[in-house]
Structure formats: C-alpha cells, structure tokens
Amino acid sequence: MANIDALNDTIKIMKIENGDISILAEKTINLDTDKRYHLKASTHGKNIKISLDGNLIHDVNDSTFSSGHFGLNVWNSSTIFQDVKVGKNIMTNEKEITNHDFETGDLTGWSTIEGNAFTKDHVTNVPSYWGRDFGHQGNYHLWGFTDLQKGDDATGELHSSYFKLDGSGEINFLLGGGNDINNRYVSLVRASDDQELIRQANTKFKEEKYQKYVWDASKYIGEVLYIKAVDQATGGWGHLNMDDVNVYNEGAMPNEVDQVVKEPEKDDSKESGILTDWSAVSGEWIPSTHGSNGGIWECPTLIELPIDGDPSKTKWVLQVSINDGAPAGGSGMQYFVGTFDGKTFKNENPSDQVLWTDYGADYYAAVDWSGIEGKNGEKYWIGWMSNWQYANNTPTSTWRSSTTLPRKMELTQTDEGLRLKQTPVSLKTIRDKSEKISYKNKVISGESNLLSKLSEDTFEMIAEFDVDDIKATEFGFQVRKGATEYTTIGYDVAAKQLFVDRSSSGSFDYGNNVVGKHDGPLNALNGTVKMHIFIDRSAVEVFGNKGETVISDQIFPDPSSKGLQIYSKGGEVTLKSLKIYPLKSIWKR
C-alpha cells in the first residue's frame, strides 16, 4: 500500500501479508490536509516507485509479491478521489522494434490483435504488382492484398513490439495501398494508456507503390511506444501495405516531415462510469455522493425554512423520497440541509451523513403547500401514509391507505447541527373535551393499570416523562390493546431512542423487507422526554419532544382492540404529565 498519513506527516509503503503489516519504506513530509496532491504509484516486477507531485519519494524492491489487487483504500478518514488514471507500466530499453522490415519472412515481433488483414501470408517477397515495382526495401514487405486471404474485404489490427524512443525522435516508414484516415492507417501509440499520438493514412497514394513518411516524435523521447496498423475498410483499395519501419534515427531531424506528434486534446466532458466496474477489496462502496442510495430517489421538495422561529435566519432543505432503503424498510424520506443560489443546492453536512425525515414505515412522497406560511415563515406539508412494500395489500376499505396529519416544518439547532422539526397542526376543534383525561406526577412501575378504564380507537395523547436519575430502562404505552395484540410506543433510555413496535399490532403481514420495530434518535430536553401521539383506527403518528424525531406507522388491529396501558421496564419512571383527548370524526352525516 502506498499510504499517505496526513495526521503524522508520513508517506509509507506498507506490506500486508497474512494480516500482518510491515513497513517497506517511510519518509516524513509536511502534508497539508487542505491541499490537493498528485500521487503516482509505479510498479514493475519487484520494483515499486512512489512519487508525490512529481517528486520521487520511494524506490524499493520486494521480490515476494506473487498476485493480488490494485485499487483505492481509505483508513479512518473521508477522501474524495478525482482524476484516477490507471495505465500499463511497460518497461523496455529496446530502441528498435523487432523485425521492423519483415525480413524474417513472417510476423515475428508483431502481434495480430484482431481480424485477418494482417497474417503471415501477407508477408511476401513478391517484387511487383501488375507489372509495376512495389519500391519496397529488402526482400520482404507487408502487402495487405493477397489472393490467399480475402483481398480487400479482410480487416484487422496489428501491433509492433514495444520500444523506448531514442535518438533524434524521428520515425520513418514506407506505406502503400488505400487512403482512408478513419479506416486504413498507421499510428504511433503510447504504451501506458494506448493513446494514439499520430495517425497516418496513405495520403501520397500511388496505387500499391510505397511512399516514404517521416514523423517528428521528439516530444516523446524516453517514453515507451508502439506502432499500430489498422485496416477496417472493405471494397476497392480496402487494404494497406507497410515496410521498413524505423523508430531509431540519429542526426538532425529532416527539414520536411509529414506529421509532428502532439498530445491529444483532452475531452472536457465528464466520463461516465459505474461502480460495478470496480471490485471492493475491503469496506463498503457507496454508489453515490450524498445520503442514502438504497433505492430510487423521487418526489423532491426544495424549501427554505426558518431556524428556531427566526424568519431572518434560514437554510434551504432538500427533501427526497427513497424507495427502497428507508430505515424501517421499503419507502421513506431523507433530507439535506444547505444553501441554494437559485441554480445549485449545496449540502452542508458530510456527504455520507443520512438525515431521515420520518423513522416510521409509512411516510412518503410528502408535498408542501405553496403560499401558506406560518407567522415566522414556517412551511406546511402532508405525506402519503403507506409503503410500496405492501400498499396494494392493506386490509382496509372503502379506502386503501391515507395521508398523514398536516405538519408545520422548520429547522432547529441541536448539538449535532441543524435538524428538521415537524409539528402537527392543531386538532383542538375535534377534541372531545368532555372526555378529556389528565394526570400529573404519577410514578409508573411495570404494567400499570392507570389507564385500564380507557377504551378508545381515535385519540390524541401528550405525555411528558422525567428521565433525570431514572431507574427504568424503557417506558411508554401499549395502544390499541386487545387480548393478544397491541402496538408499543416507547423510549429506550440507554440507546436514547424513541420507537414504535407494531410486531404484535395485528395479523397483517407487512413482508420480510419491513422491520417490526421502528426507532429514531431522541435526546432528553431539560431532563424530559415528551411524546405527542395520535392514534387512529389504522394509524399511529408519534412526535418526540418538539418534533425533532417523528415516527409514522399504519397498524391493522381488530376493531375491538381499544385498550391503552402505560408501562415501564427495569425500574420506575415519573410521568410528569399526561393529557388524553378522544377525537371526534371529521366526517359529517
């Protein structure tokens, strides 16, 4: 491993063998974590060279290597890789190509890459064509047209041996046959990346007769190159002839050259690529740059929200629905907090951080209202209360699934950063105030019978628990409780998580892809955990504290399951306050 350790200002070559790490080479260099570096790793056989910004740092040999992988590796950090280039490291000191003039009578030293346009049968000592001299050098030459093959219809590609350009940089050769720069040509190619540096067609066309061409390739003296011949043409003159390819010349460059080599123009367009082109040696590759990518993204919403009720302080929030890959399984929503200049949204959190809008299984494709803001700039929206894992199978009628309660959106500052806060709209107009139930400062231990007389299937509940010096490990409610079924809404003290567990809520099968217990992070606020809960005949919506954590779930209990129980586990918990409001139907006769 070529290891750049910015924390300790060292560049190392590390060897990992059977799980044991050893250091082959190490050098101290002042590294700036905010600077962009160009790292080059070059290996050939037992030799390893490491360069940083063009400066050779390490040059070591290790003859124990036999096989393995190459790739990119990150330890204990987050790194952006750009402009990753992998090339062949071809090393040779040969100045000439093997069998440069085909005088062996065959293709010794040359490699047929594809097709049948360049075979040993094309190497000939025939001196003339149709009564005219070829004008070739020596006895043998490469004639692209022969009755032994397919004549003009044969196609293919031929490569020379590798050579390191030396001398003056002049390259010259003889070329005959057809003229077609796109389909019949000879080119100079860089070995490391197979990049064409010059392409030459037979522009001095005189039938089969050879003409001399001269290139100035002095820019690439010292680099490893090869010659490529290509014939992809058919029909009349669909072939080329080649002989006497000289890549090592001394003396001055001729005054007249046919082509001067130059670096190919770079394409400014972004190259496409997919992660399946790579193989992970260790760790996990994330197939995108931001958030969760477990499924498709859809239904985006981009809105500007106030921070803690101050309309003069705002941030932009990008909401995205994701299916699948949500925390409960299947459908869900995530969001990003950042800036928006009218064209580009920029996420201000780490690219791999995921912020979930709702931790339940049934909040998706939420839509915000336009032009309806609160007095401090808050926005309102409403979500689809279902999940595509089972949306077509829920056991309800006349409708199948529903929407959530409308919610007010804003941002709030937390210890972890800015987070979305959602507050349900008031249902005061449909509260049955005559049936209101209220308690204060009750100590709850085990399965309490405090609420045993209540029998409701639609109600609103606001509960506050004291978690300072708490002995309980878990507390909460069992709602829509029957003889054998219930849904648990609780708080895990050690994990600091609000949760809804609908594993025992009824007989409906939500499928293997959706978990039964759904939880989200919730820290106590001034020693208090608040749960604002809405229970409907087939729905649960829970808002933790001031709405920083929200869980929305469908449930399908038996209609007779209307019980409610408060509980604690592992010790006592103090119920600071509890208000329960039975809710009247919004539907009129």
Residue burial 551-569, b: 16+ Cβ < 10 Å; e: rest? bbbbbbbeeebbbbbbbbb
According to DSSP, the β-strands at 259-260 and 211-216 are parallel
CATH number at residue 451: 2.60.120.560
Question: Which among 350, 463, 368, 469 has a CA at the least distance from the CA of 416?
Answer: 350
Q: What's the rounded Cα separation, in Å, for the pair 438 and 419?
A: 31
Is residue 92 assigned to a domain?
no
C-alpha 322: how far from its chain's center?
A: 15
Is residue 250 assigned to a domain?
yes
Radius of gyration for the chain, computed over Cα atoms and rounded to the nearest angstrom: 37
Structure tokens at 163: 């050579």
The reply to whether omega before 324 is within 30° of 0 (cis) is: yes
Q: What's the rounded Cα separation, in Å, for the pair 243 and 140?
A: 8
Q: Please give the pLDDT value at position 270.
A: 47
Q: What's the rounded Cα separation, in Å, for the pair 141 and 121?
A: 11
Distance between terminal CA atoms of the chain?
75
- Kindly state whether residues 200 and 163 are assigned to the same domain: yes
- Kindly state whether residues 230 and 352 are assigned to the same domain: no
| Region label for 494, one of left (φ > 0), alpha (ψ between -120 and 50) or beta (otherwise) | alpha
- Kindly state whether residues 25 and 133 are assigned to the same domain: no
Is residue 99 assigned to a domain?
no
Hunting for tokens 């594993």 — which residue is that?
A: 503
Q: What's the rounded Cα separation, in Å, for the pair 244 and 138?
A: 9
CATH number at residue 250: 2.60.120
Is residue 201 assigned to a domain?
yes
Is residue 291 assigned to a domain?
no
Is residue 152 assigned to a domain?
yes
> What is the number of domains present in the chain?
4
Structure tokens at 284: 């996990």
- Kindly state whether residues 371 and 480 are assigned to the same domain: no
Is residue 76 assigned to a domain?
yes
Structure tokens at 276: 């399946």
Q: Please give the pLDDT value at position 175.
A: 96
Q: Please give the pLDDT value at position 299.
A: 94
- Kindly state whether residues 438 and 576 are assigned to the same domain: yes
Residue burial 344-353, b: 16+ Cβ < 10 Å; e: rest? eeebebeeee
Question: Which among 81, 53, 82, 76 has a CA at the least distance from the CA of 7?
Answer: 76
Q: Please give the pLDDT value at position 1.
A: 87
- Kindly state whether residues 2 and 39 are assigned to the same domain: yes
Q: What's the rounded Cα separation, in Å, for the pair 129 and 127?
A: 7
Q: Is 371 helix (H, G, I), strand (E, B) or coil?
A: strand
Instruction: Dump the DSSP string for 237-254.
Output: T--EEEEEEE--B-SSPP
C-alpha triplet 495, 501, 507: angle, nearest 5°: 160
pLDDT tens for the chain, residues 1 to 589: 888 888 889 999 998 888 888 999 999 999 887 788 888 998 888 899 999 999 999 999 998 877 777 777 777 666 677 778 888 889 999 999 999 999 999 999 999 999 999 999 999 999 999 889 999 999 999 999 875 456 788 899 999 999 999 999 999 999 999 888 889 999 999 999 899 999 999 999 988 999 999 999 999 999 999 999 999 988 888 899 999 999 999 999 999 999 999 877 765 544 555 556 666 666 666 555 689 887 889 999 999 999 999 999 999 999 999 998 899 999 999 999 999 999 999 999 998 899 999 999 999 999 999 998 888 889 999 999 999 999 999 998 888 889 999 999 999 999 899 999 999 999 999 998 888 899 999 999 999 999 999 999 999 999 999 999 899 999 999 999 999 999 999 999 999 999 999 999 999 999 988 999 999 999 999 999 999 999 999 999 999 999 999 999 999 999 999 999 999 999 999 999 999 999 998 887 7
- Kindly state whether residues 497 and 535 are assigned to the same domain: yes
Residues 6+ apart with CB under 8 A from 534: 405, 424, 427, 459, 460, 461, 540, 541, 542
C-alpha triplet 260, 264, 270: angle, nearest 5°: 175
Q: Is 63 helix (H, G, I), strand (E, B) or coil?
A: coil
Q: Are 354 and 334 in contact (CB under 8 A)?
A: yes
Q: What's the rounded Cα separation, in Å, for the pair 463 and 455?
A: 18
Count of other CB atoms within 10 angstroms of residue 70 = 8
Residue burial 485-518, b: 16+ Cβ < 10 Å; e: rest? bbbbbbbbbeeebbbbbbeebbebebeeebbeeb
Q: What's the rounded Cα separation, in Å, for the pair 437 and 417?
A: 37
- Kindly state whether residues 233 and 256 are assigned to the same domain: yes
Q: What's the rounded Cα separation, in Å, for the pair 75 and 94?
A: 41
DSSP 194: T
- Kindly state whether residues 302 and 235 are assigned to the same domain: no
How far apart, in Å, are the Cα atoms of 133 and each of 88, 136, 151, 176, 214? 42, 8, 19, 12, 22
Is residue 60 assigned to a domain?
yes
Q: What's the rounded Cα separation, in Å, for the pair 197 and 228?
A: 11
Q: How many CA atoms lie within 13 A of 108 on its CB side?
A: 9
- Kindly state whether residues 155 and 213 are assigned to the same domain: yes
Instruction: Dump the DSSP string for 428-469.
Output: GGGB-GGG-EEEEEEEE-SB--TTTT---SSEEEEEEEE-TT
How far apart, in Å, are the Cα atoms of 470 and each of 439, 448, 491, 494, 561? 19, 17, 12, 11, 31
What φ, ψ does residue 505 adopt, rounded to 5°?
Answer: -80, -15
Q: Please give the pLDDT value at position 528.
A: 97
Structure tokens at 487: 């849904």
The residues that bridge with 21 in the sheet, in sequence order, are: 16
Tell me if the pTM is above 0.75: no
What φ, ψ does residue 475 adopt, rounded to 5°?
Answer: -155, 165
Count of other CB atoms within 10 angstroms of residue 204 = 14
CATH number at residue 338: 2.115.10.20
- Which range marks the domain in which residue 448 is found? 430-582
- Kindly state whether residues 500 and 480 are assigned to the same domain: yes
Q: What's the rounded Cα separation, in Å, for the pair 149 and 154?
A: 7
- Kindly state whether residues 322 and 397 are assigned to the same domain: yes
